[in-house]
A and B are shown apart, each in its own frame.
Chain A
Amino acid sequence: DAKTTQPTSMDCAEGRAANLPCNHSTISGNEYVYWYRQIHSQGPQYIIHGLKNNETNEMASLIITEDRKSSTLILPHATLRDTAVYYCIVRVAQGGSEKLVFGKGTKLTVNP
C-alpha cells in the first residue's frame, strides 16, 4: 500500500496561508492524492484531491510535485475554524477494488 508521511502538528497565524506537506514517495502512477480534515469530534470532511496537476477549489489548493512523491495542501487565508486534523491519503488500488487508508494526519492549530 502506498504510505503517506505528514508532520504530527503545525501552527499557523490567523489570516496567513497554511501550507501542509505530505510525502508519498511510493505512490503509483494511477493513484490519486486526497486530503480530508476532521474538526474536533466530527466526521472527516473532504477537501480536495488530485492526480498530477495542481488543483484549486473554494476551500484550498493542492500542489503536487512533478515526480508526484510529495504534495502540499494550501489554505490561503487560515481562520480559527480551520483548526483541525488534516489527513493526506493515497487512494489504494487493490485487487480490482479501491479504498482510502487514513494515517495519523497533521494537527493544524490556527492561532489568533
Chain B
Amino acid sequence: NAGVTQTPKFQVLKTGQSMTLQCAQDMNHEYMSWYRQDPGMGLRLIHYSVGAGITDQGEVPNGYNVSRSTTEDFPLRLLSAAPSQTSVYFCASSYFIGQPQHFGDGTRLSIL
C-alpha cells in the first residue's frame, strides 16, 4: 500500500515563484488536510477537505490555495512564494473527519 504520497520531497524556490505541492492517497479517504511544521511551532493546519469538491481554511491559510477535484488528490498551491513559507509541509488523510489520520513523509520547502 502506498498510503499518502507527497511530491516533491525537497524543493528550493525563489521569492515570487509559484509551485504546487502534490498529495495523493490510495485509501479512498474522504478527509484530507495540509499542515505546515516550523521549529518550535508544532503542526499548524493550512487547509482541509471533507470530500471531493469541498475545501475549507485552517488556521494559517494565507498565501495558499487548494482544490479537491478527485477523492485521491489534494494539491497545495503557493501562488507567490515568500521566505515566511519556508517550512516542512505534511499532507494527511482519513476516512472521515475525526478518524485517525495517515500522514505523508513531508515536503521540505525552502524559499530564498
Residues of A within 8 A of B (CB): 32, 34, 36, 41-46, 49, 87, 91, 97-105
Contacts and interface: CB of A to CB of B under 8 A. Distances in A.
A106 B42 CA distance: 10
Given A42-B105, A45-B103, A99-B48, A104 B41 contact: yes
B44 A102 contact: yes
Query: Chain B's interface: helix, strand, loop or mixed, by majority?
Result: strand
Contacts of A101: 45, 59
Interface residues of B, number: 26
Contacts of A105: 42
Interface of B: 4, 33, 35, 40-45, 48, 50, 56, 58-59, 88, 90, 92, 97-98, 100-106
A1 to B, nearest CB: 9
